[in-house]
Chains A and B, each alone.
Chain A
Amino acid sequence: MDKMPKWADVILTPLISLILAMGISALVILAIGESPWMALKTMVEGALGSSYGWGFTLYYATNFIFTGLAVAVAYHASLFNIGGEGQAAMGGLGVALVLLYLPLPHWGLALPAAMIGAALFGAAWAFIPALLQAKRGSHIVITTIMFNFIAAAVLNYVLVNLLRPTGSMDPATARFPAETNLPALTDIAAGFGMVWGRNTPANVTFLVALAACFLVWVLIWRTRLGYQIRALGKSEPGAIYAGINPVRITIIAMMISGGLAGMMAINNVMGEAGRLVLNAVEGAGFIGIAVALMGRNHPFGILLAALLFGFLYQGGGELALWTSIPRELIVVIQALVILFTGALDNMVRMPLERAFLAMRRNRGAAK
């Protein structure tokens, strides 16, 4: 017998957790002497009040969809991939190498090529931790954290010593060729005769991200591989008994995860910056953890959670611009969301379960 209906588990629990996280965030804002109401208004207006705000919100959300999906795919195999940051950074390197060294005449060709480059580099960066986890049992959490640091060092070295154009002091690559620039959502809207989101970095990658959500859903719930991933995640001995090779599935799941994280680079590196700079990922790899937790590791939930975090991110930027509240407020909110929806969710679930049990008993007694 289920203790409570599915909708309560999937929607009500995260919603209450989110409200708790927001409530404490409001207290934090009060504690630093600002008005939570004003902060909320500034954030909503800045992020959702104009097509300009929406443009940025969607741009950030695109990043978070990729990193969120990355965390989720690994999580279904009960692997906790904290390495999204490093995998996305390496994905950026893949994108830069493809765009700088392959002559691609049109963005329509450059986009798939860059996607392959990004996914390959991201997957390669996830491969070693996956191999170590599968073959030697080294804890994937620690190895992926270490690989984040190593990726930062590798990128630093490559950008300073190898890819930096001569004469430039900036640790960044040259600009990518103009014909590989991705069309912005503004241009697409203009194609339909609309004026939308001018001067924002939101680009066609958002549509790729939506497609990725759908494909991940198909992968996890409609394919044999997805079944094997979930089976391994539920019970390793059970999976082995069913003839599933845990080494193989662990490595495949982590490489898909790394590939997804790497694909984030087509949004920020190819779509927005047009060149690879140091620290291009800006923490999106970590936000993916919160996004996946909030979205209950389901692509649709991840889409919603990514939009929420896109809103928080853009709203946080507006806060820093118009008030004296620093951007780091967003890190605190994010931490509280991870804490309440991830680590403390039993705090909400246990009383809820009790409430539903009591309700059912009452109904049974009334009959």
Chain B
Amino acid sequence: MNIRESLIAFIVLGICLIWAFADGPAAQQGIGSALRLMTPLLLACLAGLYSERAGVFDIGLEGKMLMAAFTAASVAYITGSAWLGLAAGIGGSLALSLIHGLASITFMGNQLISGVAINFLASGLTVLIGQNAFGLGGRTPSLTGAGRFQPITLPFAAELREVPVLGPIYSGLISGQTILVYVAFAMVPITWWVLFRTRFGLRLRAVGENPASVDTAGVSVTRLRYTAVAICGILCGIAGAYLATGLSAGFVKEMTAGRGFIALAALIFAKWRPWQALFATFLFGLLESIANLYPNLDLGIITVPSMFMNALPYILTVIILAGFVGRAIPPRAGGQPYVKER
């Protein structure tokens, strides 16, 4: 981490500390909710990380998550099993990934346009099928019991509650999350290891920087990129399934609400690196959590209107993109289809 990043980390930590000091238990709840809210962002951000590191830009993260949320909620409702819902969510998201791969790898089309189309497709299909299947205006019926991922209490959570400082953090924040939250957090070191410590990761990064070199080495660019796009689909699928079966109890029209784009912003913020992605998505989760808890934030001198709080992640993204928080350089071959010399 460079000085700038440390400075931002310091500021975010400061916000948390001041909040905890001023609000006590409310702040703990708020940070807990930030963890839950950042989970789909983190998964989608890592999804984008694989795809874009392999040189395939993906602004369809939003659509994939939405589709996954819908298929996960529908199947979880019909079968009563959140796990089958998760599998269906991954399937739904993978189907869209395949379309994206077809358009941007096989047919060398414009990756941005393909992403836009995928977002529309998901937004239309989910409501169309949902209305047709359940007749609730695009919603799925509410999920109960095993149809949802339930919080897991980690061992000794109750016993350790009394330990100062660490006790409440362990029992209140770390314990009591759903399994997908732990999966998301585990994906960070896994992604780091895969990308920077395996041969596959090396090739994946190379194909995003200089596909011709990978091709020269006799490794299939097409196959590597499809693999990356598929991993992206799986992670978006988990993210969507978490939205519909973990965070809330069922699918609601347009429930991703721009999270895919926030995840993209976090990806740029993190400069396409996994640990920084964890940090960037926490920041966005924290902002969302604060906006939920304090619709009109009273800072004493001025009252910040709720619309500003809701727009803050987007404004922050623009500021980040403007390069005021350090320059983010995307993978060099990103966005371009690879054309083998003929």
Contact = CB atoms under 8 A, between A and B. Distances in A.
Interface of A: 28, 32-33, 80, 82, 128, 132, 136-139, 141-143, 145-147, 149-150, 152-154, 156-157, 160-161, 286, 289, 293, 324-326, 328-336, 338-339, 342-347, 350
Nearest to B126: A328
B265 A326 contact: no
Interface residues of B, number: 46
6 contacts: A138-B321, A157-B305, A326-B132, A334-B120, A339-B114, A344-B109
A157 B308 contact: yes
Contacts of B322: 132, 136, 138
Contact of B59 (A141, A335, A339): A141
A153 B323 CA distance: 23
Nearest to A337: B117
Contact of A346 (B107, B121, B125, B305): B107
Interface string B292-324: 000000000000010110110011011001110
Given A142-B268, A147-B314, A153-B310, 16 more contacts: A146-B261, A150-B318, A157-B307, A160-B307, A286-B120, A328-B124, A331-B123, A332-B120, A332-B128, A335-B117, A335-B124, A335-B125, A339-B99, A339-B117, A345-B109, A347-B109
B258 interface: yes
A9 to B, nearest CB: 16
A253 to B, nearest CB: 17
Contact of A342 (B114, B128, B265): B114
A138 B323 contact: yes
A14 to B, nearest CB: 14
B307 A156 contact: yes
A342 to B, nearest CB: 4
Interface of B: 59, 99, 102-104, 107-114, 116-121, 123-125, 127-129, 131-132, 138, 258, 261, 264-265, 268, 305, 307-308, 310-311, 314-315, 317-318, 321-323, 330
Contacts of B113: 80, 289, 293, 338, 342-343
A342 B117 CA distance: 9
B124 A343 contact: no
Interface on chain A toward B: helix, strand, loop, or mixed SS? Answer: helix
Contacts of B314: 146-147, 149-150, 153
B149 to A, nearest CB: 28
Interface on chain B toward A: helix, strand, loop, or mixed SS? Answer: helix
Nearest to A158: B307
Contacts of A137: 323
Given A82-B116, A331-B120, A143 B321 contact: yes
B109 A343 contact: yes
A145 B318 contact: no
A278 to B, nearest CB: 11
A43 B129 CA distance: 20
Contacts of B112: 80, 141
A334 B109 contact: no
Contacts of A80: 112-113
B95 to A, nearest CB: 13
Contacts of A329: 124, 128
Nearest to B267: A142
- 6 tightest CB-CB pairs across the interface, nearest first? A331-B124, A335-B120, A153-B311, A343-B114, A332-B124, A138-B321
B117 A328 contact: no
A326 B121 contact: no
Contacts of A286: 116, 120
Contact of B127 (A28, A326, A346): A326
Given A80-B112, A343-B113, A330 B265 contact: no
Contacts of B107: 343-344, 346-347, 350
B132 A146 contact: no
Contacts of A32: 128-129, 132
A161 B323 CA distance: 32
Contact of B265 (A142, A147, A325): A142
A150 B109 contact: no
B307 A146 contact: no
Contacts of B125: 28, 328, 332, 335
B120 A344 contact: no
A160 B305 CA distance: 11
A330 B59 CA distance: 21
A344 B121 CA distance: 14
Contacts of A289: 113, 116
Nearest to A148: B314
A95 to B, nearest CB: 21
A330 B123 CA distance: 11
A285 B180 CA distance: 36
